[in-house]
Amino acid sequence: MLIDTYGRVATDLRVSLTDRCNLRCTYCMPEEGLQWLAKPDLLTDDEIVRLIRIAVTDLGIEEVRFTGGEPLLRPGLVGIVERVAALEPRPQMSLTTNGIGLERTATALRAAGLDRVNVSLDTLRPDVFRALTRRKRHEDVLRGLEAARAAGLTPVKVNSVLMPGLNDDEAPDLLAWAIAHDYELRFIEQMPLDAQHGWKREGMITAGDILASLRTRFTLTPEGQEERGSAPAERWLVDGGPHRVGVIASVTRPFCRACDRTRLTADGQVRTCLFATEETDLRAALRSTAPDAEIARIWKQAMWGKKAGSGLDDPSFLQPERPMSAIGG
């Protein structure tokens, strides 16, 4: 069991499969990209599967989320999913993606055992998409979403970040579009994870701003804490249901007290929080032929030291040096 000193138990594992991405979103990385991890530093497919097996069979992990960078860029992704699906007990598996490669991979991923996907899409306007991502791939994302739904990777969740002066007026349109296509929309407050350190708290679109905008067109009824559980998104029924919309307010409404996550970076480091400034190395243990029990011990010790909160509710919060693409969302 992965328990910390505050009594929280981690049952949700986020696994970053690569630090690379085929977009250059303004809130994530600079236009020229980043210094990617060297191939020898990345975990191999076998190492990833072994760590997930230890997490599931020895440490109580029940859900595995594959992230990046962009996880669809990982050549062995389908094989990793298939091998994790064969574990006993079998964990629930999901994938967070920008959707660009989903049209050609959705069917194979579903057949391998993937349960569902989260797709990032911040705008319905191709010109705004290009401004936000520095790439002309809007139509590819839309086709990827359709392919995911057709393959049965449901519920298909869409993650949107609103940016001042770009797409901050789109919340109602995004929700109407998501309802029409039977996607579950979740808005995410912009977080200080950009490599160029351009994030400013006073300029961000808050959960309150998002909800006020949505209420100009929709009636929102809160779902309640019992339904939410440890999920990061607060959810509302839209016009009485059955459709829902969620808001992940990491900055203005932190949910650290209910956190049940542990994170594994693409180079084999355990992170107790997305915003942690410390990591615990599992790769060295893997490559020194340490037994499973020793790796589990190191992992448990790392999680025991998890802090009470992320620090995002502190106005003096300093952005972590490691960008989102290297950590995994």
> Which residues are annotated binding-site positions for GTP?
14, 65, 96, 157, 261-263
**251 touches 309 (CB < 8 A):** no
Residue whose tokens read 């499973």: 292
Provide the token pair at 78. Answer: 């389908």
- Binding site: residue ranges? 14, 21, 25, 27-28, 65, 69, 96, 120, 157, 191, 256, 259, 261-263, 273
**222 touches 234 (CB < 8 A):** yes
Q: Which of 215, 219, 235 is closest to 227 using CA atoms? A: 235
For 180, half-sphere exposure in the C-beta direction (CA atoms, 13 angstrom radius) is 6
- Binding site for [4Fe-4S] cluster: residue ranges? 21, 25, 28, 256, 259, 273
CA distance 169 to 190: 15
DSSP string for residues in 213-257: HHTTT--EEE--HHHHTT-S-EEEEETTSS-EEEEE-TTTS--GG
**185 touches 178 (CB < 8 A):** yes
Q: Which of 111, 104, 105, 24 is closest to 69 using CA atoms? A: 24
For 109, half-sphere exposure in the C-beta direction (CA atoms, 13 angstrom radius) is 32
Residue 237 corresponds to which amino acid? L
- Binding site for S-adenosyl-L-methionine: residue ranges? 27, 69, 120, 191
